[in-house]
Amino acid sequence: MDRLLSLGMQTSVPEIFSAEDFISNPGRFAGFEPPVRLAVIGDPVAHSRSPGFHNAALRFCGIRAQYGRLHVPTERFAEVLHTLPAAGFLGANVTIPHKAAALASVDEADAYARASGSVNTIVVNGEKLMGFNTDGPGLVRAIREEFSVDLRDLRVVLLGAGGGAGRAIAVQCAMERCERLVLVNRTFEKIHLLAEELAPFFQSERLSGPAERIVAVPFDDDALRRELENADILINATSLGMKRTDPPAISPALLTANLLVYDTVYAGGTSRLLEDAAAAGARCANGLGMLLHQGALSFEIWFNRAAPLEEMRRALHSGL
């Protein structure tokens, strides 16, 4: 310990770094043992469980690096992102509300990130920032694991399709060519345009035309009732449920026992939607599986090796 202190090493990593911490002294992150080389960037960010399972993966694989939290308001986001190389970072994850801004700020982005309109994983390549999105692929893995079914075989109703994660999931559903996709959002114009953009993915011989396989509907009970009667899975991509005081994502009366219900919210382990779904007899799951799998995919992008998934899973659940 004395030797570490004499070398200027810091062994205790703060729970959260501020944007000012990062921008004013990027060199300090090399002074921890092991150095902080990765982080999740968001506002808020205190709730994020990513550091727990990523640090477990780094230790398990013998990688000399730590993963932290960066609390960054919108007005400082681009500046923080462009400080990543100076801080010696390998990469970062990006969460609410910065995913769309991350796409605009990176030097290059892969095709899926561009199509989804957002970035949640950044790789530092010299002075360049490379953008990826693992939300949709993470959801595919989570649904297969939770419900023993593939997303491509399901008729999907997606709440909050106009948001960052919602759009990424909608694009993934289209790329998987799921049986049917119903886009639901408070701002109807957003999803009307998105439905037109994704319609070419749904042209096939299975039904008479793309209009029947992808539709956009307003966020109201009558429209939702009609669509849920012919759906296999309801996916909530809104932020409703992050706080226990939030109103229900949809009316409990619309939930039935024949539905699968997946809530991308994972704060607190459950949500009002999942409680209502369970009461209706539906099979349901929270967003921890998606969090785990999108994190594992990020790890694979950063290190070009398989993620230690079970080690990450144990760390994630031990922290609940």
Task: List the catalytic residues.
Answer: 99
> Measured on CA atoms in the order 276, 277, 279, 285, is the torsion positive or negative?
negative
Q: What are phi and psi of 195, to 5 degrees?
A: -60, -40
**How large is the angle between the packed helices 50-60 and 288-303, nearest 10 degrees?**
40
CA contacts within 13 A on the Cβ side of 15: 6
Q: What are phi and psi of 316, to 5 degrees?
A: -60, -50
CA 125 to chain centre: 22
- Is 143 in contact with 121 (CB distance < 8 Å)? no
**Which runs of E-coded beta strand occur in the chain?**
17-18, 36-42, 66-71, 91-94, 108-109, 121-125, 128-132, 155-159, 180-185, 214-218, 233-236, 260-263, 283-285
Q: How far is the C-alpha of 244 from the C-alpha of 231, rounded, in Å?
A: 27
Q: How far is the C-alpha of 111 from the C-alpha of 269, rounded, in Å?
A: 32
